[in-house]
Chains A and B, each alone.
Chain A
């Protein structure tokens, strides 16, 4: 069974800091890995998708890396802002009981607070 772990569970930093959020997964047979952001009481916003054959993806101030062999991904946030405050979720997609579509397995998230 796929287990996804995110460290740290919570992070509080002043504005302007560069941040690293960590995600690890137990089974390297994944199709892809996706990072999401969730604001309180809201749905999930997709930030970055990394296919299993890729090593990293970048979008603006965000950069995500994937090391499938070691079962790790990191999300790097440059020059953090108060508007970045949210819960960041990591999810891996892998095959499941013969299904070629698979499903997303989620970590519990990192709750980020960026204060002015």
Chain B
């Protein structure tokens, strides 16, 4: 069974641009979460989607947004990029989106903003 896949794996963008990252969950998983990992802040929760609905959101500015499609694939978008947005963006999927579900992470997208 294929794991969580994320595309692209690496991105270099310029300040002010926008970027879209994609995540395909494990087949049959309906919940997708996004996390940002930086050396300074560690892993921080961005948002969680289940059945195309955002169920939870972290403390990030409105420049960070996401969506989930009917096939459970998810995208996140960051507009007006800032240098501080440089990070590893990780996507996680879980089977049922319940509080007890195990989370499985993808390899991440490394975003560099110059």
CB contact under 8 A between A41 and B110, given known A46-B102, A101-B50, A104-B103: yes
A residues sitting closer than 8 Å to B (CB atoms) are 31-32, 34, 36, 41-46, 49, 51, 89, 91, 93, 95-97, 99-109
A-B contact count (CB 8 A): 68
Q: A39 CB to closest chain B CB, in angstroms?
A: 10
- 22 example contacts (A-B, Cβ-Cβ < 8 A) are as follows A32-B100, A41-B88, A42-B108, A43-B4, A43-B6, A43-B106, A44-B90, A44-B92, A44-B105, A89-B43, A93-B99, A97-B56, A100-B99, A101-B50, A101-B56, A101-B97, A103-B48, A103-B56, A104-B92, A105-B45, A106-B42, A108-B42
Q: CB distance B102 to A104 under 8 Å?
A: no
**Interface SS of A by simple majority:** strand
| B103: contacting residue among A46, A96, A97, A109, CB under 8 A | A46
Instruction: Provide the B70-114 mask, 1 if CB < 8 A to any CB of A, else 0.
Output: 000000000000000000101010000111101111111010000
Chain B CB within 10 Å, residue with most, of A34, A93, A101: A101
